[in-house]
Amino acid sequence: MEIHTYEKLWFGAALVLIVAFIATISYGAVGAGISMIDDEGGTVAPDELSEHERFGNPGVYQVNETHYEVNAIAAQFAYQPRNLEVPANSTIDFYITSRDVIHSYSIVDTNVNLKVIPGQISKVTVEFDEPMESAIICNEYCGDQHHFMETGFTVVPEEEWDDDEIPSVDEMGGDA
Ligand code: CUA
């Protein structure tokens, strides 16, 4: 059986494409640090957030010198806390939930892109090495002012960061 030269060429090109596609998908799955949110964060009653230990007083809490927790709420049509600041060279555990409908908590120019579901706590741990100025935006259509859901996000240089202003995780509580 004779196979035409051009047919062989196209056959080869198709094979290269298939291998390349599998390689990019494999890289995206394991190499790029992309992970799905699981149920590790637990659940919460969306209408009782003000009494919740984590969400009664949303903000940044300190675990130790380089480790912090951020408790945040997404709601129509704003985030709490607004204009979030965290220090450079830190590890941040984000705990995010929604007061009403599905939103997202997406930090521009990072790979943080969390879906935020009422009743669920989305938890993700992120390391911020370099100072940066960015924004938190919503990528899930959540109503007629969806496009106004934006607030600032800053990774502050270590020398400008003051831990004295940051409550410890032990001070977290719903009554504050
Ligand atoms: Cu919240 Cu779109």
Q: For residue 33, what pLDDT is reported? A: 66
Residue 166's contacts (CB-CB under 8 Å, 6 or more residues apart) are: 60, 61, 62, 68
Average pLDDT across the chain, whole number: 89
Q: pLDDT tens digit string along 138-153?
A: 999 999 999 999 999 9
* Closest atom of ligand 1 to CA, residue 149: 1
The residue that leads in pLDDT, 130 or 37, is: 130
Mean pLDDT of 32-56: 80
User: Taking 90 as the threshold, does the pLDDT of residue 165 lie above it?
Assistant: no
What is the pTM for the complete model shown?
0.79
**In angstroms, what is the span from residue 114 Cα to ligand 1's centroid?**
12
Q: For residue 103, what pLDDT is reported? A: 94
Cβ(55)–Cβ(49) below 8 Å: yes
Cβ(166)–Cβ(61) below 8 Å: yes
High-pLDDT (> 90) share of the chain, %: 61
User: pLDDT band at 50, cuts 50/70/90?
Assistant: confident
* Cβ of residue 73 lying under 6 Å from some atom of ligand 1: no
